[in-house]
Amino acid sequence: MLLHLSSSSSSTSLPSSTVLDPLFLYIDEHQNEFVQRLREWVAVKSDSNDHTLWGEIHKILNMTANRIQEMGGQVEFADIGTQKLSNGESVALPPVLLAQFERDPNKPTLCIYGHVDVQPAKKEDGWSTDPYSLTEINGNLYGRGATDNKGPVLAWLHALETYKASKQEVPVNLKFVIEGMEEVGSDGLDELTRQRNESFFSDVDYIVISDNVWVSKRPALTYGTRGSSYFFVEVEGPKLDLHSGVFGGSVHEPMTDVITLLGSLLDHTGKILVPGIYESVAPLTEEERKLYKDIHFDMEEMKNNIGVKSFLQDNKEEILMSRWRYPSLSIHGIEGAFSDPGSKTVIPRRVIGKFSLRQVPNMDPAVVERQVKEHLQEVFAKQKSPNNLKVMATVGAKPWVANLNNPEYIAGRKAVKVVFGVEPELIREGSTIPIANNFQEVTGKRVMMLPIGGHDDGEHSQNEKISRYNFIQGTKLFVAFFYELSKLQKDQ
Amino acid sequence: MLLHLSSSSSSTSLPSSTVLDPLFLYIDEHQNEFVQRLREWVAVKSDSNDHTLWGEIHKILNMTANRIQEMGGQVEFADIGTQKLSNGESVALPPVLLAQFERDPNKPTLCIYGHVDVQPAKKEDGWSTDPYSLTEINGNLYGRGATDNKGPVLAWLHALETYKASKQEVPVNLKFVIEGMEEVGSDGLDELTRQRNESFFSDVDYIVISDNVWVSKRPALTYGTRGSSYFFVEVEGPKLDLHSGVFGGSVHEPMTDVITLLGSLLDHTGKILVPGIYESVAPLTEEERKLYKDIHFDMEEMKNNIGVKSFLQDNKEEILMSRWRYPSLSIHGIEGAFSDPGSKTVIPRRVIGKFSLRQVPNMDPAVVERQVKEHLQEVFAKQKSPNNLKVMATVGAKPWVANLNNPEYIAGRKAVKVVFGVEPELIREGSTIPIANNFQEVTGKRVMMLPIGGHDDGEHSQNEKISRYNFIQGTKLFVAFFYELSKLQKDQ
């Protein structure tokens, strides 16, 4: 991982300010138009969770396509098949929008991924404003999709518009992959990527994703995400639920087994007790350790935000590492047991404990699955229970990590410096964003995550927002990123 | 506990067959009328869970009262106050029916408790027949309330009718306490018992309850029930649910704490690990141990019925003792955790583990509560968790045990012998029947449980039934019980 970034770029081209200053001026002067366009986009209720609203997804995809076509791009609505609804009916999935512009072989080709569907939102869920009516309060633009992910998608389009309107040559070849099913698991996208790997993706140099947020008030580049496996530990006993008064004390209760199994997974420090689980975790290098020093993470502020008295670790670096670069295990609940308010005295016949294990490089989900299953089977054997144990796992996604020495990260760092005047924080995501790893695995292309959303944007929550500052400076960041990426190529 | 029952009753009165045979004949000859009356009672949808059906409870209470009045009894509908519904509305509870007959100071006074409300039942829950239309198939009378508890209440009334119709003097003074809210917790009954302790209950010698079932195909007398306390272990952490990807590994998760707490309660043999919990359990005497030998409990049949491969104990005596005379602990579930199907990756902010502890003589619920709380607090302290622990307990009921030497049990054993030709099984209930202990605690009177329902009657289940055999022989049992109780008194 590179840490020393040459600060003098010995370019033969014009000084960056000559190129970028007029572009930035254009953005500042047109910011109200950009916000207005975001307002129009937010007004489209493209909630992918509700298939009766998929018409709205078609609408926003068309709006996106029109904008791209107006700027000279070619668009294709790629069919990704159908989905079976719970009533048995099959419905066509909203297509994925693939777009490209005339290609200059001397420029690097950047493929931008984004999505225009949103999470559900209703005023009565606790929104202070109408979620589908973008509302500016104290410099923040509140509305569903403002930061996730309509704002960033628009910022990319506005960055392109800025070059075009300013009669400046766009310094990179651009492609777009814009989908409408991200919030429900990106149905069909992986398959489409595979299908188009030899065509659409073949001349792509970089794939960039702007679908996450910073970790503090400072801009950030994201170079890693954790993977995830979800485990179901099912213990089945009697053929019917039993009365705990009548049978309590005489039968092996499935709940006792499941509680023991779940209780064997981790200790009070959060350490995972599954033998071998830490074996393939990438060792922490001195270089990587230093990365964590520079991150502005306010432990006290975070404690207040989430309302905890302490973390499992007692300093910033260890907290961040435990979230980003070490595996973790969380127990989520038990299906089949009594979960309502009140005091039912049932012995449930069949219960399913549920937990997930976040994985990091270089853990292999298949090995993890085997280790967890063996561990649980061993613990269960000691229970001498006549009940049946079944352990099932689903792999959500593999962990992903990028090399910070890659040109896209160097360009990103330079662009951040130009726009914000500071070095970006180099961060990871503790959560799982399958798209980054999926693109990288299928296409073999370099993938980067370049967020412009603020750390307090509240994706998926009530009162989602993007600040006007982040939306407009983010547009500048993308403009500068195009420039730095192409300059880097020329400099090489 | 007495085990040697004098088999020769040196009575100066008539031989029992002289008295009882004509009565038994009357019962046999009128059995179809008795079944028809049960059919009329079952047709009344007196489901106390549904307050819109409380009119039906009034109806069946009136039917009961009319029957008693026809036989010369005096009835009173005792007001037991109101209940607040979830919508805030207050509704008057169905009254408790108190009834008595002219009193002869030379006869023992027996107070019969029963209830005429039922559990909910719908054909579509899986009933083979209409639950409110008594249907006879292969000698079984299927219908909601057939065994719990309309059948037994009617059997008492029919026993009285038998004496009256046969122009024989009823050998005991009878009182009745018939309620309509048993299935929802006998609201107000305890308070009413307290209020009438110096009046209605003052001249009562024995209280008899016929609201449980046998444990095998053989008749039984029940001399004990377990008590129960319900525990809520609440752990509260962050002020909002957290994303396990973002925060997993850095925060003390309430679920980890609760799983550890629940996991500390019992070992894989079912032994409760709370220190001191077994200290006050009444020691097992050799005499008591012998009681278990005579009980017809078919381990293999029970295994098949409930679908388990084995019990925690490997012989009949120990299985029954673990269900009846030793405490047990069952973990029922967790409120606040993820309990639906699927794979949500939430870190719940607040979870409540729920378990109950069945208590036996001479455990004191207050001591048990203290022991459990101290144990959980100690385990939690070792977790070094910054989360908040709250342990709450509700005492359902105290355990109850009767002395088998008491006259009512001796009379019961004789009556069983007369009607069924065998010694009754002397059994307990593992489950908690608060009514027995409550009556005993408040009134100080001798309480007895005298079941006539079969072990496979399926109280609270689909296809609840009582067999015609049990219903009719049960009526004879009650007739004989009146006789034996009075004879015992005369003999003394």
Element (H, E) at B301: helix B299-306
b/e per residue B330-367 (b: at least 16 CB within 10 A): bbbbbbbbbbeeeebbbbbbbbbbbbbbbbbeebebee
A330 band by pLDDT with thresholds 50, 70 and 90: very high
CB nearest A249 (choices: B242, B251, B323): B323
Q: What are the binding residues of A for Mn(2+)?
A: 115, 148, 183, 211, 460
Q: Whole-angstrom Cα distance, residue B75 to residue B33?
A: 24
Q: Which of A202, A154, A162, A159 is nearest to A178 (CA)?
A: A154
Q: Which of A255, A306, A340 sits opposite B242 (nearest CB)?
A: A306
Choose from B229, B251, B435, B462 for mutation: most chain A CBs within 10 A. Answer: B251
A225-246 pLDDT per residue, tens: 999 999 999 999 999 888 898 8
* CB contact residues (below 8 A), chain A span 239-258, against chain B: 239-240, 242-253, 255-256
Q: Is the pLDDT of residue B7 over 80?
A: no
Q: Distance, in angstroms, between B3 CA and closest chain A CA?
A: 25
Question: How confident is the model at residue B13, as a pLDDT?
Answer: 56
Phi, psi of B332 (to 5 degrees): -100, -30
CB contact at 8 A, B373 and A384: no
For residue A87, the model assigns a pLDDT of: 82
Does residue B24 have a pLDDT over 80?
A: yes
* Shortest Cα–Cα distance, A256 to chain B (Å): 7
Put simply, the answer to whether B337 touches A341 (Cβ < 8 Å) is no
Q: Which amino acid is at A275?
A: P
For the cut 60, the answer to whether the pLDDT of residue B274 exceeds it is yes
Say whether pLDDT at B460 is over 70: yes
Does residue A278 register a pLDDT over 90? yes
pLDDT digits (tens, 9 = 90+) for B221-241: 999 999 999 999 999 999 988
Nearest to B256 among A244, A266, A356 (CB): A266
Percent of chain A with pLDDT over 90: 82
**A253 and B330: CB-CB below 8 Å?**
yes
Nearest to A245 among B228, B349, B386 (CB): B228
Which of 128-187 (A) contact B at CB < 8 A?
A: none
Residue B197 Cα distances to B107, B109, B110, B172, B324, angstroms:
20, 15, 15, 20, 30
Total CB pairs under 8 A between chain A and B: 243
The fold for domain A227-297+317-395 equals Alpha-Beta Plaits (3.30.70)
Q: Please give the distance of CA A280 from its chain centroid, rounded to a whole number.
A: 24
Query: What's the pLDDT score for residue B143?
Result: 97
R_g over Cα of chain B: 25
The dihedral through the CA atoms of B184, B185, B186, B187 has a sign that is negative
Select the more confidently predicted residue: A431 or A69.
A69
Binding residues of B: 115, 148, 183, 211, 460
* pLDDT-based confidence at residue B125 (cuts at 50, 70, 90): confident
Model pLDDT, residue B492 = 58
Strands B96-100 and A109-115: unpaired
Residue A231 and residue A234: Cα distance in Å, rounded? 10
| Residue A218 in tokens | 């400072």
Q: Could you tell me if B68 and B75 are in contact, meaning their C-beta atoms sit under 8 angstroms apart?
A: yes
Q: How far is CA A431 from the centre of its chain?
A: 7
Calculate the average pLDDT of chain A. Answer: 93
3-class secondary-structure state, position B222: strand
Of A163-167, A349-353, B485-489, which gets the smallest average pLDDT?
Answer: B485-489
- Which residues of B belong to the annotated binding site for Mn(2+)? 115, 148, 183, 211, 460
B70 is a catalytic site residue: no
Q: How many CB atoms lie within 10 A of CB A391?
A: 19
User: What are the residue boundaries of the structural domains of chain A, listed by start?
Assistant: 16-225+399-491, 227-297+317-395
What phi and psi, each to the nearest 5 degrees, are found at residue B474?
-65, -40
| pLDDT for position B432 | 84
pLDDT of residue B14: 67
Interface of B with A in 305-344 (CB under 8 A): 306-313, 319, 322-323, 326-335, 337-341, 343-344
CA distance B344 to chain A (A): 7
* Among chain A residues, CA nearest to B316: A250
- Asked whether the predicted pLDDT for residue B317 surpasses 50, the reply is yes
Mean per-residue pLDDT for B401-419? 96
Cross-chain residue pair A240–B307, CB shorter than 8 Å: yes
User: Using H for helix, E for strand and C for coil, what is the string for A373-430?
Assistant: HHHHHHHHHHHCCCCEEEEEEEEEECCEECCCCCHHHHHHHHHHHHHHCCCCEEEEEC
- Chain B, nearest residue to A320 by Cα: B250
Write down the pLDDT at residue B70. 97
Work out the average pLDDT over A374-398: 94
B117 is a catalytic site residue? yes
DSSP conformation letters of A90-125: EEEPPPEEEEE----TTS-EEEEEEE--B----GGG
Task: Name every chain B residue with its beta carbon within 8 A of the beta carbon of A260.
Answer: 263, 268
Coil/strand/helix, residue B280:
coil
Residues of A in contact with B251 (CB under 8 A): 306, 308, 311-312
- Running DSSP on this structure, what letter comes out for residue B141? E
Q: Is A286 exposed, middle or buried (0-12, 13-18, 19+ CB in 10 A)?
A: exposed
Q: Is-cis flag, bond preceding A362, omega within 30?
A: yes
pLDDT at B316: 94
Interface test with B, best of A213, A328, A331 (most B CBs within 10 A): A331
- Residues 416-475 of chain B with CB under 8 A from chain A are 429-432
DSSP state, residue A167: T
Q: Please report residues of B whose CB lies closer than 8 A to that of A237.
A: 308
For residue B336, give the nearest of B215, B437, B224, B241 by alpha carbon.
B241
Contacts of A360 (CB under 8 A, 6+ apart): A224, A226, A227, A281, A282, A324, A325, A326, A327, A399
Contacts of B339 (CB under 8 A, 6+ apart): A333, A334, A335, A337, A339, B333
- The answer to whether the Cβ–Cβ distance between B308 and A246 falls below 8 Å is no
DSSP per-residue codes, B14-42: --HHHHHHHHHHHHHHTHHHHHHHHHHHH
Per the DSSP assignment, residues forming a β-bridge with A425 are A220
| CB–CB contact A333 B338 (8 Å) | yes
Q: Residue A267, Cβ neighbours under 10 Å: how many? A: 13
ipTM: 0.87
CATH superfamily of the domain spanning A16-225+399-491:
Zn peptidases (3.40.630.10)
Query: Which of the four pLDDT bands, split at 50, 70 and 90, describes residue A3?
Result: very low
- Whether the CB of A224 is below 8 Å from some CB of chain B: the reply is no
Instruction: Give the pLDDT confidence of B330-379 residue by residue, as tens digits.
Output: 999 999 999 998 888 889 999 999 999 999 999 999 999 999 999 999 99
For residue B11, the model assigns a pLDDT of 41
Considering only CA atoms, which of B252, B237, B242, B255 is closest in space to residue B334? B255
Distance from CA of A421 to the nearest CA of B (A): 28
State both tokens at B41: 């009672």
Q: Round to whole Å and give the CA distance between A160 and A162.
A: 5
Q: Within its chain, how far is the Cα of A47 from the centroid?
A: 18
pLDDT at A10: 41
Q: How confident is the model at residue A217 (pLDDT cuts 50, 70, 90)?
A: very high
Asked whether residue B4 carries a pLDDT value surpassing 90, the answer given is no
**Cβ partners under 8 Å of residue A219, min gap 6:** A416, A419, A420, A422, A424, A425, A452, A477
Residue B5 confidence (pLDDT):
45
Return the CATH class of domain B227-282+325-393.
Answer: alpha beta
Q: What is the pLDDT of residues B64-110, one digit of tens each?
A: 999 999 999 999 999 999 988 778 888 899 999 999 999 999 999 99
Binding-site members of A are: 115, 148, 183, 211, 460
Q: Does B370 touch chain A (CB under 8 A)?
A: no
